[in-house]
Structure 1
């Protein structure tokens, strides 16, 4: 219906256009006559509508301008004020106006001029100055132009008929009110039968479906013609480039329907077997493909895609074995990654191919039946005890015999059939695990070698009895009371226990007569020793020996006897055995304190070569004091030489120091024992176990380095560092202070 209406309208426009033109002209004249008069109702300017066509090459008469007072006696003179840039002129006698040059309506369509008339006889204006309009009429001198060029459009392929593509628009500079000069119709010059254009709107639509795979770009030419296409109309054209965008309307297809590849059985996992290729006429993401293996139940192969080439790369997922299977057949499917189900369902948009993989035989190294071996053997087994057997086979068809060798420990050996035996006695407490390496070599091809790890665990047997966990220094005060805890003991066992160790403590059968002390098992792997009487005496007995039986919870259980030495100590009123242990510390402290040497920078060098002794000597004159070489020979008994008078003085001072010493019997006994030990020890330096210099000798140019040359009252030695050792240690320091000087 709209089509017929448009056709009817196009035919009626030429008929009604002149009527519209006349109405417009009458409207302009009415407006000009509406200009107010200057007061003379019957007198004024007289003229018609001034219209001049554009594009005229010759001088054109526009019209006549006159006053109604002009009686034709030639006394009136007409003047034109403002000639429109020289475009117009006026005849002064007649008032005729002329266009002097070609006019262009598209540049200027109206000219407004002023005119005046003068009576030359009186030299005055007979009419007031007035304005009038000259209109330039249009001629069809401009063709339609497309201002938005170039035109480009994209439309999906296979779009249905009537799909909008693009709209083009042409402009005409001519007067749209003048005839059909600016009335444009569009026409398709090129692009049939795939495209069409609407004549009045310039909308381009698809006329038939197009396949991008056949042609992806089209060039369409549209013509725009004014005057509704009537004779004499002007026209212009434009070109539209229309591209078809891809849709996924093609499935991928394999180039080959059958592929054949080979792979060596020695190839590792991840080896590329071959490449397959499918082609898709689509482009972009519509051509992206996905390969998959359809019927590989063993999952030996896999396939990945090369994103750049879209090739399918077949790789080995698991190692193959020629002896187990020498060929494989797999089916591979390819499909698009992005599928438009409306255009092509997934099961339709796919294709398959068949691949045959041939496995090539290789001479392979031996294969152990297990990846590693773990054996157990109890400790203490005799030499030649079998530990376990390893076994390797030739995976190839010829089944070559094997030779075995063992590395990693000299405690084991392996025979021809792979049996591992011991070559030494195993002790779990020395080594609980052995890490061995067994090598199997093919007899037919010694280049084919394989190895496997063997771990041997030595199992524990209860072959170590428990023992004291440490060396105990136990003291009991003379004034100890009955039931007083003397010592807490614990035990250790070098054996490994399946459960936690548990130790049992008791008196040894040999110690049943010892009634001075008793033992109580705490049932927590510790025991306490308690005094079984009140009061002990150093004069009667200074040391007690307690024999303790310790048993473990092994299978079978083992026991041991351990001797605990308990020393009687004069603890004083504090009843603390700490003074007994500090006494030993004092002796060591005295040995470490010595006077500053004259050669401090050589202290470390001299320390190993200087021995402390109490013989006087005569400096360089005395060469018989002792032979330093003989001192280093422990097998040579030291010959005691007669003491000189100075040595006797030292002993006298020593005896005096003992007399003024403490009354504690343990101090006296200890010092006497140490003196006796030093005098009888053939490997010790002469006399002084504290390693001090008693006297240097009168023959030395350095003089005496000892304190014996001065009086006892002149000694100024500082023993303040012993203040924290208790009163008994101060008495001991005083006892030593006047007799000898500490080394360091």
Structure 2
């Protein structure tokens, strides 16, 4: 404490001594009018000047200070003298009164109105207010009249080192990659000091590290923190606590200081390869496990974290590379071994794999350390399981002719139990695939027989499913699809492709093609259809028609002569024999109907009936239709005329002795349903008091319907 007190006194007295040395030149360099107020003052020196010294200075044409100083935080038993106001107009008769106004006048600063001495009556804080602006005035004591204009001056609060540095944003956190080189910048911190940065060294800060060596260092003036050791390893230590000090007074003794903490975290880099927890893994799996099932997991540990610890797994060698695969689980960071193809205990009972784990992301700075990968051996033992029967083929294709005999064998399926303790097999047909029960199977040997006749023309394919079941364990079953193709036999005779009807013109020419016909056959020969056409033996020498086979397997019918007359014979029937090329060949007889018709000069058929001959020659079909329409229209007109004449001759007034009722129905053109119809009793109209037996024009019915009842 004594040493610190001495430093504070030295800091306080140094500027005052300098001010005292430089004071005399200021006195003589600033002569003022005698009528102005003399304002003198300094922190301490002027307080010690005697009255004689001040009078001596004033006799030299006067001088003025426009600033006064007072030390902050100064406290004592008496108010501190800041300075004195004096005017050259004061002859010492004490008839002058000094008045002080402005910032803090009367509350902080107090003036002796006779002597002009200004005292600070309160403890001042520069950080709260650094300066005060006041106004001084000299007035006549008796009249209070101003002796001269008011004069403004400033009292400055002089700083002392009473504020320690502060880290306003602490505590701090920063990161730096592990394995960084020496001198890598980490962060920088800043402290603030409320003291005056212009006056003295009260706010001049110097930074240092109190805790955190030898890992980090700090630049004293800029507070930049750097690594002090190279290649710090996160895996050895991840977090460091650094205590930082800021000291004012340029770091000299006696200065005030403040501290803060900085937590430095080393971020990870990929500087470690993956390493399998064990060099050999053992797994066992049943032979009937489902494809894609996880067999086991292997894990390579990595001291790094995040993406630097991610590894990909591969099978690089072994006798099971085709049956197994390994995938990487990014969440658990391990490798999952799965089954790709079915296992067979009876074929091979164990497999050996060599798996590798390699980092996904490689940092080239550390590639020289060696490959970032590791390998391990995996042994997989296959366990025996009760397996279902296995068919000799995954599918079967059978062929059978459609004329095959019932109960004949059309094919056979075979299956076996793959287990060492082989079980006998029984075969059956899934009847959901053979609803008509067209096939049977021998339960012991799997021979398929025909149960009902087949017809290729109805169904070419039959798809059934055969079931194989172990006798010792009925839960072990297998299924296999069997496709049965029905082969064609020549069991259908050919016939006309459609119902043909030929037309022959009376004015036709000899050799003219009357009709071209084609044939069809429901059978499906391997080499396609080839038809033979012929006439009945008794029609070979037919005088009217002949036939000609075309290259496209069709047949043309030709006329042998002209001059056909439909009045003589209207229709001709021509039987044609059609034979196929099957073995044995089949044939049928189809009859072609040929009608004799009247045709135009260019061969267009106009009429094929005998009655047409009574019509004028050359009359077109359109003209005939028009004439027929006119005749029908005339008949309708005649009927309407006769009907109207008959209604006109009937009397309107009906005899009284007849029990007759007539309803008059009025129809409204706008239409309103049943409401548009109003019925009236005809007896009302016959009232002698009424309308004299006739209908007025407004009640004349548009349409009359009469109902007679006896």
TM-score (norm 2): 0.71
> Could you say what secondary structure the match of 1:342 adopts?
helix
**Partner residue of 1:464 out of 483, 488, 492:** 492
**Would the alpha carbon gap of residues 32 and 476 (structure 1) be closer, same or farther in structure 2, given more than 3 Å must change?**
farther
Matching of residue 318 in structure 1 with residue 352 in structure 2:
no
Matching of residue 131 in structure 1 with residue 152 in structure 2:
yes
Q: State the distance in 2 between where 1:539 and 1:124 align.
A: 164
**Would the alpha carbon gap of residues 135 and 248 (structure 1) be closer, same or farther in structure 2, given more than 3 Å must change?**
same
**Would the alpha carbon gap of residues 207 and 332 (structure 1) be closer, same or farther in structure 2, given more than 3 Å must change?**
same
**Would the alpha carbon gap of residues 99 and 18 (structure 1) be closer, same or farther in structure 2, given more than 3 Å must change?**
closer
Aligned ranges 1:216-615 → 2 under 5 Å: 216-296=238-318, 297-344=320-367, 348-383=371-406, 386-406=409-429, 408=434, 410-415=437-442, 416-422=444-450, 426-474=454-502, 476=504, 481-536=509-564, 544-552=572-580, 554=581, 556=583, 558=585, 560-566=587-593, 569=596, 571=598, 579-580=607-608
Matching of residue 145 in structure 1 with residue 166 in structure 2:
yes
**Would the alpha carbon gap of residues 176 and 411 (structure 1) be closer, same or farther in structure 2, given more than 3 Å must change?**
closer
Q: What residue number does 1:114 align with?
A: 135
Q: Is the 8 A contact 1:43 1:69 kept in 2?
A: no
**Would the alpha carbon gap of residues 437 and 82 (structure 1) be closer, same or farther in structure 2, given more than 3 Å must change?**
closer
Q: State the distance in 2 between where 1:402 and 1:149 align.
A: 84
Q: State the distance in 2 between where 1:63 and 1:267 align.
A: 106
Q: What residue number does 2:199 align with?
A: 178
**Would the alpha carbon gap of residues 298 and 194 (structure 1) be closer, same or farther in structure 2, given more than 3 Å must change?**
closer
Q: What residue number does 1:61 align with?
A: 81
Aligned ranges 1:68-87 → 2 under 5 Å: 68=88, 70-82=90-102, 84-86=104-106, 87=108
**Partner residue of 1:103 out of 113, 121, 124:** 124
Question: Mind listing any 5+ residue stretches in structure 2 that lack a counterpart?
Answer: 1-9, 37-58, 615-622, 636-710
Q: What residue number does 2:69 align with?
A: 51
Q: Is the 8 A contact 2:597 2:606 kept in 1?
A: no
Q: Is the 8 A contact 1:476 1:566 kept in 2?
A: no
Q: Is the 8 A contact 2:35 2:88 kept in 1?
A: no
User: For each residue in 1:529-583, what CA deviation from the matched residue of structure 2 results, as whole angstroms up to 9, or x when unmatched?
Assistant: 222122345676665443324344x4558363524254555759898767558x9
Q: State the distance in 1 between where 2:395 and 2:122 align.
A: 115
User: For each residue in 1:641-664, what CA deviation from the matched residue of structure 2 results, as whole angstroms up to 9, or x when unmatched?
Assistant: xxxxxxxxxxxxxxxxxxxxx698
> Could you say what secondary structure the match of 2:281 adopts?
strand
Aligned ranges 1:618-697 → 2 under 5 Å: none
User: For each residue in 1:180-225, what CA deviation from the matched residue of structure 2 results, as whole angstroms up to 9, or x when unmatched?
Assistant: 2112111212212211111121111111243223332222221111
**Would the alpha carbon gap of residues 126 and 32 (structure 1) be closer, same or farther in structure 2, given more than 3 Å must change?**
farther
**Would the alpha carbon gap of residues 51 and 504 (structure 1) be closer, same or farther in structure 2, given more than 3 Å must change?**
same
Q: Is the 8 A contact 1:143 1:226 kept in 2?
A: yes
**Would the alpha carbon gap of residues 540 and 221 (structure 1) be closer, same or farther in structure 2, given more than 3 Å must change?**
same
**Would the alpha carbon gap of residues 258 and 29 (structure 1) be closer, same or farther in structure 2, given more than 3 Å must change?**
farther
**Would the alpha carbon gap of residues 117 and 298 (structure 1) be closer, same or farther in structure 2, given more than 3 Å must change?**
closer
> Could you say what secondary structure the match of 2:364 adopts?
coil
**Larger strand percent:** 2
**Would the alpha carbon gap of residues 48 and 313 (structure 1) be closer, same or farther in structure 2, given more than 3 Å must change?**
closer
**Would the alpha carbon gap of residues 126 and 298 (structure 1) be closer, same or farther in structure 2, given more than 3 Å must change?**
closer
Structure 1 residue 395: Cα displacement: 0.9
User: For each residue in 1:76-115, what CA deviation from the matched residue of structure 2 results, as whole angstroms up to 9, or x when unmatched?
Assistant: 4444344633322333443333222212222333333333
**Would the alpha carbon gap of residues 125 and 476 (structure 1) be closer, same or farther in structure 2, given more than 3 Å must change?**
closer
Q: State the distance in 2 between where 1:103 and 1:723 align.
A: 137
- Comparing 455-464 with 120-129, greater Cα deviation is found at 120-129
Q: What residue number does 1:700 align with?
A: none
Q: State the distance in 1 between where 2:317 and 2:577 align.
A: 76
Count of aligned pairs: 581
Q: What residue number does 1:650 align with?
A: none
> Could you say what secondary structure the match of 2:468 adopts?
strand
**Would the alpha carbon gap of residues 286 and 477 (structure 1) be closer, same or farther in structure 2, given more than 3 Å must change?**
same
**Would the alpha carbon gap of residues 28 and 387 (structure 1) be closer, same or farther in structure 2, given more than 3 Å must change?**
farther
**Would the alpha carbon gap of residues 725 and 273 (structure 1) be closer, same or farther in structure 2, given more than 3 Å must change?**
farther
User: For each residue in 1:612-652, what CA deviation from the matched residue of structure 2 results, as whole angstroms up to 9, or x when unmatched?
Assistant: xxxxxxxxxxxxxxxxxxxxxxxxxxxxxxxxxxxxxxxxx
- Comparing 475-484 with 170-179, greater Cα deviation is found at 475-484
> Could you say what secondary structure the match of 1:343 adopts?
helix
Structure 1 residue 333: Cα displacement: 2.0
Q: State the distance in 2 between where 1:485 and 1:24 align.
A: 150
Q: State the distance in 2 between where 1:237 and 1:550 align.
A: 120
Structure 1 residue 517: Cα displacement: 0.7
Q: Is the 8 A contact 2:296 2:336 kept in 1?
A: yes
Aligned ranges 1:697-708 → 2 under 5 Å: none
Structure 1 residue 372: Cα displacement: 0.6
